[in-house]
Chains A and B, each alone.
Chain A
Amino acid sequence: MSVVYIIHTISGQLDIWKMIEFNNVSKTYDSVKALIDITFKIEKGEMAFIMGPSGAGKSTLLKLLYLSDKADIGSVSIAGFNIATLKETSYAYLRRNIGFVFQDFKLLKNKSVYDNIALTLRIRGVMERDIKEKVYSALKMVNLRHKIDSHPLTLSGGEQQRVTIARALVGEPTVMLADEPTGNLDVGNETSIMNIFKDINAKGTTILVATHNVNLVKGTGKRALYLDNGRLVKQESI
């Protein structure tokens, strides 16, 4: 837990029960309205889906959450922090409470699976002797223990995505964000990745997955938020 986290908790700026909160958020890029007046909440420990076709605003919404961009109007909170009130120097510490999973994996191609996962901990200054144990445990959770010395390019798409999930997991995040995590995978791997997400969620981590794949969400019993042309048009459990 970072210093920023502790300070905000003490000062009362942190509401740990609202993991993700959008209040009347709008975002425009060169006169194109990417998000229009979005309001929703994701509670602690919840797993939810952001659904919608390409260009609906899913990626923009996630960008605001992983602090790659700022809302033009409205407020965004994640892991209890109101992003608008945070200084940019605190972003790094806030990101340590968030796990990221991307469609294109974003793995370091010249590093082994072990080093890719260990990077999360090395950035936080964790001692090398403690890193090994945590990396092994994260790899066990995604069932990739045997690929520890492999390099990303020698792995299949599904395996690379599992490494990405292990890298996010190893930092013990309070929130996990996934942008089209199964976009590049076949059906077998889709199911496997979704099962891993469910396991992680069952252990208490809040998860928000952006996807256009309706089949992925069907029958999960989780909440789905539908975006269309930048507007939140529907919320339902499916």
Chain B
Amino acid sequence: MFSIRLAIQSIMQEKMLNLLSVISISIGLFILSVVFLVVYNVEKLTQELPEKFAITIYLNDEASLSDKRNIENTLNSDPLVKSIDYISKESALVELKTTLKKANYIFESIDDNPLFASFIIWLNPGKFDIQTVKSFITRVKLLKGVESIESNEKLLETISSLKKGLRVSTTGILLTFVCAMIFICYSTVKILFYRHGEEIEIYKLLGATRLFIRIPFLFEGGAIGFAGGVIAALNVLFTYYFFTARFKSIIPIFSSLDIPMYSVYLIPFVGLFLGITGAAFAIGRLKY
């Protein structure tokens, strides 16, 4: 209890220094939270991709009924496949005619049905990644009766590399900011420790243990981190509601932005952890 009192007294005594540290940490945590939210939303959007992403397998005209069955069975047994739709040559033509209603004259000069029968494959979200899709396409291409395969492989590749890049840069940003915040707490506590040098000398002479002297600094580091976290969390909430309310009508993507509330509640505790870690490093390196 006395240690907590000492920490509170020190915080009150060194208001400006502590305030600066709290603001720096809140800025750092705010940037971290924004980065996290961007990554979270990109991940969420890409997870929804399989529902919108389909592979079309065109069958050649020579494909027999048993070839079709074989293809269908192979597809059905693949864990990547969620569902398949079969579109016959005739249905494809009807669909095309419906689509090109206004340009029906195109079909007047065509006697035979030039379209291929096809399977449209809907993918399973759980198994969805570019490598699995690529190897799946390669496997299916080898099946007898398959004329060609149409997939948005390029789009998938772009999204995949975007996700990879985002993960790498996020990890970099995360590490940099975490180190920076730990360093801020470390420096603050170290400065505080030296500013209290005379007091600490007196504590030592009166029989204070190393732990007794150090614990208030741990509390102080934790308090700085926690306060920075609370401010950052409030900022994140304010920014989120401000942007979604203001811009969702102008920029549609803002309406689909999501904020996981647990992560907002977590921010002060991340601050607390970083504050204590910085303080622990600082007092661990001190002579007494």
Identity of the chain B residue whose Cβ is nearest the Cβ of A168 in the assembled complex: B206
Interface residues in A117-158 (C-beta closer than 8 Å to B): 119-120, 122-124
Where chain B touches its partner, the secondary structure class is helix
Q: How far is the CB of B210 from chain A (nearest CB, A)?
A: 7
Q: How far is the CB of B34 from chain A (nearest CB, A)?
A: 41
Give the segment of B154-162, B176-184, B195-203 that binds chain A: B195-203
Known: A93-B209, A95-B206, A120-B206. 7 other contacts (CB 8 A): A92-B207, A110-B13, A119-B206, A120-B207, A123-B206, A123-B207, A171-B207
A96 at the interface (CB under 8 A from B): yes
Identity of the chain A residue whose Cβ is nearest the Cβ of B203 in the assembled complex: A123
How does the 8 Å CB contact mask read for A54-69 relative to B, with 1 for contact and 0 for none?
A: 0000000000001000
Contact B199 A108 (CB under 8 A): yes
Q: Give A residues with C-beta under 8 Å from B.
A: 66, 89, 92-96, 100, 106-108, 110, 119-120, 122-124, 167, 171
B107 at the interface (CB under 8 A from A): no
Q: A106-B201, A122-B2 are in contact. Are A171 and B13 (CB under 8 A)?
A: no
Contacts of B201 in A (CB 8 A): 106
Contacts of B199 in A (CB 8 A): 108
Contacts of A93 in B (CB 8 A): 207, 209
Interface residues on B, range: 10 to 19
Contact B205 A66 (CB under 8 A): yes
Contact A92 B209 (CB under 8 A): yes
A-B contact pairs, 10 of them (CB 8 A): A92-B208, A96-B207, A106-B202, A106-B205, A119-B202, A123-B207, A123-B208, A124-B207, A167-B206, A171-B206
Q: Give B residues with C-beta under 8 Å from A.
A: 2, 13, 198-199, 201-210, 212
Q: How far is the CB of B118 from chain A (nearest CB, A)?
A: 79
Q: How far is B2's CA from A124's CA once the two chains are assembled, in angstroms?
A: 11
Could you say which of B13, B202, B204 contacts A92, with CB atoms under 8 Å apart?
Answer: B204
Q: How far is the CB of A115 from chain B (nearest CB, A)?
A: 10
Contacts of B204 in A (CB 8 A): 92, 95
Contact A95 B207 (CB under 8 A): yes
Q: How far is the CB of A156 from chain B (nearest CB, A)?
A: 20
Q: How far is B5's CA from A123's CA once the two chains are assembled, in angstroms?
A: 13
Q: Which of A120, A122, A171 has the most CB of B within 10 A?
A: A122
Closest 8 CB pairs of A and B: A96-B207, A95-B207, A92-B209, A123-B208, A122-B2, A120-B206, A92-B207, A100-B205
